[in-house]
Amino acid sequence: MESFSVAGAEVKKTGLFNPASKFYRYLMLAFIASLSFGCYFAYDIVAAIAPSLIEELKAARQTVGTFFTMYSLAAVLAVLVGGVLVDKLGTRKASLLFSCLIFIGAVIVWKARSIPVFFLGRFIFGAGSEPLIVAQSAMLARWFKNKELAFSFGVTLTVSRLGSLFAFNTGELITSYFGGFRYALLAAVLACGLSLLGNIFYVVLDKPGEKVLKLKKENVTEKIKIKEIKEYKPTFWYITALCFTFYSAIFPFTALSTDFFVDKWGIARAASSSDGFLAQVFNNFLHMFSTAGGISSIIIFASMIFAPFAGRLIDRLGRRASLMILGSLILIPCHLLMGLTNIYPAYPMIFLGLAFVLVPAALWPSVPLVVKEERTGTAFGVMTAIQNIGLGLFPLLNGYLRDLTHSYTASSLMFASLGLVGLVFSYLLKKADSREGGRLEAARQKTVTPPVLY
C-alpha cells in the first residue's frame, strides 16, 4: 500500500488520509478559509473599540481614521507586488510570508505605546493582509478548480466575515471585561496567530496533495500589467468608479460608526450582563441591535447570510447594472437618515446591509463580462488598487470632519454624496452596457469566479 510523508511521518494513502478524498479536500478548505479570519478580525477591531481608543489614548477621530489609511496605503503598494510574489515563491512560501507579516503587524499594534508605532503596525499588517487574499484565491483555485470552486469561495468569504462579526460584537466587551483596549488588540493577535497556524497546516498538507494529485500551479490573476489598461472599455471604468465610491461609503463609515452610535445616540458599547465572559459574548450577539458594535456589524451579518442567495439570483435574472443602480440609491437615504435625524440607526443600517449584499454580488462578477479573459488579472488588480485609495482617503476625511465640526453630520453628508456619485456612475454603466451589447443585464451569463473576497 502506497504512503506519503507528512511532517516527516509516513502516512498510508488510504481513506481519510488520501488527498483525493473529499474529507481531505474539505480539510484543506477549512485551513484555507481560516487564513483570512484573523486579518478581518484585526482589521475591524480598531473600529469596534474606537470609543475606547479615543478615550484612553486621548486621540482625535482623525487619528483613528489614519489607522485605516495606513492599512490601505500598504494595500495599494502590495497590490503591485503581492501577485508577483505568489507566482515567484509559490502559494505555500508566499502565504506564510504574508501571514507572518499580519501577525507581526498585529503584535506591533498591540504593544505600541505611541501613535507612530500604531501606524507602523497597521502598515505592516496591511502589507501582509491584502496579498494574503490573493494567495488564498490561488489556493482555492489550486484545490477546487473544476470541483466546488464557487462553494469554496463562498465558505471562505463567510469565515472571513465571521472575523469582522466577532470583532464588532466582542471588541468593547473584551475591553470592559478585562480592563483596557489592549486586551482587545491582544485578541486580534491571537486571531492572527490562529490564522497563521491554519496556514502552517495548509503547507504541511499541500505538499503530499501536490505529489499525489499532481496539482498544477495556479497563476495568480490579481496582477497589474500597465500595457493592458488602455484596452478596457467604458463599462469597466464605470464599474471601477462605482467600486471606488460604493466601498468608500461603507468601510470608511464603519471605521468610526461605533463611536458615532455611542456619541450621538448614547447606545451601549456592550450588552449589560453579570455572567461569565463566554456567556457575555453570547449575550452580546443576542443583543446585536442594541449595542454600538452590534449595529455596526449588521452590514457584515447581512452579507454573510444573503450574499450567496443574491449571487444565485443575479446569475438567473441578470440585471447587474440595474441592481448596482438600486444599491447606490439605497446608500443615500441611509446616510442622510443617520446624519440628519435621530431615527434609531439599526433601521438604516439594515438597508445599508441590503445595499452591501446587492452591489458586490453584481459588481465583482461583472468584470469578466466586460473584460477579455486574459486581461481580467490586470482588471481586478486595477480595481483593487483604486478601491484601496478610497478606503485610505475617506476614513481620514471622516475623522477630520468629526474633529472639525464636533458631529458626524458633515461625514454623513459626505458618504451620502458618494452614494449620489455612485448612482451617476451606475446609470452611465447601464447606458454604456446597452451600447456594448447588454451583457451585464442579460441572464445566465457564463462568469469567472472573481479572485477577490470583498
Q: What is the pLDDT of residue 64?
A: 94
CA–CA distance, 202 with 375 (Å, rounded to integer)? 30
Segment 194-205, tens digit of pLDDT: 999 999 999 988
Q: What is the pLDDT of residue 305?
A: 84
Which among 146, 162, 154, 183 has a CA at the least distance from the CA of 49?
183
| 5 against 167, higher pLDDT | 167
Q: What is the pLDDT of residue 259?
A: 96
- Residue 254 pLDDT exceeds 80: yes
Distances (CA, A) of 7 to 12, 206, 208: 14, 11, 10
Burial class (CB in 10 A: 0-12, 13-18, 19+), 118: buried
Q: What is the pLDDT of residue 212?
A: 66
Residue 5 counted as domain residue: no
Residue 376 counted as domain residue: yes
Segment 28-57, tens digit of pLDDT: 899 999 999 999 999 999 999 999 999 999
Residue 449 counted as domain residue: no
Handedness of CA 205, 211, 213, 216 (dihedral sign): positive
| Number of domains composing the chain | 1
Q: What is the pLDDT of residue 11?
A: 46
The mean pLDDT value of the chain amounts to 86
Q: Which domain holds residue 190?
A: 21-435
- Cβ-contact 366, 438 below 8 angstroms: no
Segment 378-432, tens digit of pLDDT: 787 788 889 999 999 999 999 999 999 999 999 999 999 999 999 999 999 999 9
Q: What is the pLDDT of residue 315?
A: 74
Percent of the chain with pLDDT over 70: 87
Residue 344 counted as domain residue: yes
Q: What is the pLDDT of residue 232?
A: 83
Q: What is the pLDDT of residue 4?
A: 47
| 293 against 316, higher pLDDT | 293
CA–CA distance, 219 with 313 (Å, rounded to integer)? 30
Q: What is the pLDDT of residue 14?
A: 52
Residue 3 counted as domain residue: no
CA–CA distance, 198 with 99 (Å, rounded to integer)? 10
Q: What is the pLDDT of residue 241?
A: 96
Q: What is the DSSP letter of 270?
A: S
| 160 against 229, higher pLDDT | 160
Q: What is the pLDDT of residue 306?
A: 84
Question: For the domain that residue 143 is a member of, what is the CATH number?
Answer: 1.20.1250.20
CA–CA distance, 118 with 99 (Å, rounded to integer)? 19
Segment 62-89, tens digit of pLDDT: 999 999 999 999 988 887 776 667 767 7
Q: What is the pLDDT of residue 446?
A: 52
Residue 430 counted as domain residue: yes
Q: Please calculate the CA angle 21-27-32 and round it to the nearest 5 degrees.
A: 130
Handedness of CA 387, 392, 395, 396 (dihedral sign): negative
Residue spans of alpha helices (H) in 371-436: 376-405, 409-435
Segment 308-355, tens digit of pLDDT: 777 777 878 888 899 999 999 999 999 999 999 999 999 999 999 999
Residue 116 counted as domain residue: yes
CA–CA distance, 249 with 247 (Å, rounded to integer)? 5
Residue 78 counted as domain residue: yes
Residue 216 — pLDDT band, cuts 50, 70, 90? low
- Residue 3 pLDDT exceeds 70: no
- Residue 6 pLDDT exceeds 90: no
